């Protein structure tokens, strides 16, 4: 017979999953930027997937987690909008400076950067609440 897990323990596991997800998103972005082997890219995605599923299962169970979740999703949305608006400027600026056409790979980097922004917003709100 399994013992029930306390609410405090569940919150600790939730916050641990958020740190693991943040580390996995950094690993994935570094692997993409440095063109590491596909295994390392997949490892980052796999760990991130497990962390995100853990976060999604308990995302709005209490007000504290709901505030952290809202801060993270707001940051992720802001990054998506900024990348969408900055793409033409970046393409034009690099094209002007180099004299060659340049196309920013927004589609390939939007999701990893949005996930990183989610965790940055999530942990930023958590650290603000800790003071």
68 inside domain: yes
pTM score of the predicted model:
0.83
Mean pLDDT of 117-130: 92
- How does DSSP classify residue 92? H
SS3 35: coil
Confidence at residue 28, expressed as pLDDT on a 0 to 100 scale? 92
How many domains does the chain divide into? 1
pLDDT digits (tens, 9 = 90+) for 74-99: 999 999 999 888 878 877 777 777 77
Which pLDDT score is estimated for 97?
77
Q: What torsion, rounded to 10 degrees, do the Cα atoms 128, 62, 65, 54 define?
A: 160
Reported as a single tens digit per residue, the pLDDT across 36-49 is: 999 999 999 999 99
Structural domain for 58, as ranges: 7-130
Q: Does the residue 2 lie in any domain? A: no
14 in a domain, yes or no? yes
Task: Tell me the C-alpha distance between 14 and 60, whole Å.
Answer: 12
Q: Does residue 109 lie in a domain region? A: yes
Tell me the angle at which helices 63-98 and 106-130 cross, rounded to the nearest 10 degrees. 140
């Amino acid at each position: 017979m399994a013992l029930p897990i306390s609410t405090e323990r569940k919150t600790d596991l939730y916050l641990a999953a958020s740190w693991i997800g943040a580390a996995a998103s950094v690993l994935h972005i570094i692997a993409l930027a440095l063109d590491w082997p596909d295994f390392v890219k997949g490892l980052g995605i796999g760990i991130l997937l497990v962390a995100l599923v853990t976060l999604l299962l308990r995302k709005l169970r209490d007000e504290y987690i709901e505030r952290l979740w809202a801060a993270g999703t707001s940051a992720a949305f802001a990054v998506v909008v900024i990348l969408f608006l900055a793409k033409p400027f970046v393409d034009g600026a690099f094209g002007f400076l180099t004299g060659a056409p340049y196309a920013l790979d927004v589609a390939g980097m939007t999701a990893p950067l949005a996930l990183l922004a989610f965790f940055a917003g999530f942990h930023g709100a958590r650290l603000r609440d800790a003071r």
